[in-house]
Structure 1
Amino acid sequence: LSFWGHPCARLPPTGCGEPSISPSLHHTERIIKGQNAVPGSWPWQVSLQNRFRSHFCGGSLINENWVVTAAHCEFKPLFHVVVLGGYDRTSRSGSVQVKNVVRVVTNPNWNSNTLSNDIALLKLASPTKLGPRVSPVCLPPADLHLPDNLQCVTTGWGRTSINWCFMVLLSPSQESLQQVSLPLISSSKCAKYWGSKITSSMVCAGGVGASSCQGDSGGPLVYQDGGLWTLIGIVSWGSSNCNVNTPAAYAHVSHFRNWIDSVI
């Protein structure tokens, strides 16, 4: 599954998972190397930042009022904001919206020791203004079956040099939004790397020379289904040195669909 779309704008989407600006992907690129995304082509991507504009995690817009991210990002409404419509993570251009958060709902089964159920929902203080550069991603059904080797995409402002990359950002990230195409890995194959750390609340992807890396925590893992991009994973954890030959773990969004619906 390769996407060679041109960055031509269409009318703003009316639903979910349909960028007005088409993404352009190449299988050989990875966030470790650093492939810049087409500006505006992943309109659900958000940056979680502190009040000094420092990016520390990613997230995904799922409707005009809610963002989903990783629980381990530990978003604090008093100290943090959600930035939407950004490409350069420090920009405050006309398309950028900065939102306060009035409610953080962490999954009640989140376990910081095992990293299971690594998902949280952020309610924005005011509705997002949807448009060509800001629109929601689709959510999967609760019973979605994900085949092995399904081609997916993850995005973020992650590190592009191979260094330690566990969880939240501790060093400068990329200025421009990065993207990588990588395959889904079955739980049994993933367990060969990670053993019993892999639970039903997780999906795995990568391990074939591509990886999501530090600074991408909380960001999206998506795939295209019938022309619509669907959120199937939330960047959670991986190897301590961003090994591109080891799959990374993502919160399994389909596993949490009923919980998400009960909150939003």
Structure 2
Amino acid sequence: MKSYYILLILLGLTSAKPTARIVGGKDVDRPGKYPWQGSLQSFNNYHICGAVVISSKYVLSSALCTVNQTPATRKIILGMHDEDTRLLGNPTDYLIEKITNHPNYSPGPPYYWGNDISVLTIQGMIDLNDPYVKAITMADENSPDFTSNENCIMTGWGSLYGFGPYPNILQEANFHVLTREECEISRPGQIFDNHLCIGNKATGGNSFCTADNGGPLACPISAGDWILAGIASIANANCTTQQASLCARVGNPGIRSFIRNITSL
């Protein structure tokens, strides 16, 4: 599967998305630190993309990860910390009842994977009493644009560098939310209102990469409280840190109303 996606990228096929992974990150130091983090997997326990818990019934992911899939081909793992060994936390499988992709998802240019978001309805209920699993509050239409927040965190089990290995331990990296003007410097003409542009102003050394798609960009809003600002969407084919990365903007009216119409959240 990994070699298949790499081949698509190398061939430059329009159906292949620029890869996305966390580059320049570090091991999350304890299980359950980011309890909303999930893993979208095949039934042979292969990590495909990230996912985000928003309630006891729903998780979010990237439409890229789910647009050609059905509940019979994918499952969600929650409470996981070490993806390969699965000795820490409380990794638990959840079956998917329904996959709903954003109706205006744009798989490629000219809108650069706009509305890259999907809602996954879980069979049964997610156990939110599990100490390693918690829903995260979502940004809405009235939320700030987060450009003054320099402490947002992206998490995931994506590749550690371009075409590199996947980590065992969940990774985290700090990102700044960039203004549209800042984003246009490295992505001219590629950012739209449904995107959230991120980078690291201090070092320029962070990106996200293969299999981080669908994962959360969480921003702290007060002591111990976080808000879901974005869903990992676009980085570069070689996961370079010299270009800004794009997320689906959760608080965008078109994205937020899509989520609300399905989940009532």
Report the TM-score range of the alignment, normalised by the length of the smaller protein: 0.7 to 0.9
Matched, 1:186 2:179: yes
How far, CA to CA, are the matches of 1:229 and 1:149 in structure 2? 15
The aligned runs of 1:107-146 (5 Å cut-off) are 107-113=102-108, 114=111, 115-130=113-128, 131-146=130-145
Matching residue's letter, 2:54: I
The aligned runs of 1:150-165 (5 Å cut-off) are 150-151=149-150, 152-161=152-161, 163-164=162-163
Q: Is the 8 A contact 2:52 2:215 kept in 1?
A: yes
Q: 1:224 aligns with which of 209, 220, 223?
A: 220
How far, CA to CA, are the matches of 1:147 and 1:198 in structure 2? 16
* Cross-structure match for 1:177: 170
Matching residue's letter, 1:156: G
* Cross-structure match for 2:47: 55
How far, CA to CA, are the matches of 1:31 and 1:224 in structure 2? 19
Q: 2:82 aligns with which of 78, 88, 92?
A: 88
Q: Is the 8 A contact 2:43 2:75 kept in 1?
A: yes
SS at match of 1:254: coil
RMSD: 1.8
Q: How much does 1:160 deviate?
A: 1.2
Matched, 1:244 2:241: yes
How far, CA to CA, are the matches of 1:192 and 1:219 in structure 2? 25
How far, CA to CA, are the matches of 2:184 and 2:80 in structure 1? 36
Q: How many residues in Structure 1 have an aligned counterpart in Structure 2? A: 228
* Structure 2: runs of 5+ lacking an equivalent: 1-20
* Cross-structure match for 1:36: 27
Matching residue's letter, 1:111: S
Matching residue's letter, 1:240: A
How far, CA to CA, are the matches of 1:135 and 1:160 in structure 2? 26
User: Could you give the per-residue CA deviations for residues 196-222 of structure 1, whole angstroms, max 9, x where no partner exists?
Assistant: 221111011115211122211100001
User: Could you give the per-residue CA deviations for residues 111-136 of structure 1, whole angstroms, max 9, x where no partner exists?
Assistant: 11231110000000110111210010
Cα 1:85–1:237 shift into 2, 3 Å: same
Q: How much does 1:226 deviate?
A: 2.0
SS at match of 2:54: strand
Cα 1:191–1:94 shift into 2, 3 Å: closer
User: Could you give the per-residue CA deviations for residues 135-180 of structure 1, whole angstroms, max 9, x where no partner exists?
Assistant: 101111212222425221000001113x25xxxxxx7411110000
Matching residue's letter, 1:241: N
Residue identity over aligned pairs, in percent, reads 28
Q: Is the 8 A contact 2:80 2:89 kept in 1?
A: no
Q: How much does 1:31 deviate?
A: 3.7
* Structure 1: runs of 5+ lacking an equivalent: 1-29, 165-170
How far, CA to CA, are the matches of 1:175 and 1:93 in structure 2? 11
Q: 1:253 aligns with which of 247, 250, 254?
A: 250
Matching residue's letter, 2:238: N
SS at match of 2:100: strand
Matching residue's letter, 2:125: P
SS at match of 1:100: strand
Q: Is the 8 A contact 2:105 2:116 kept in 1?
A: yes
Matching residue's letter, 2:141: A
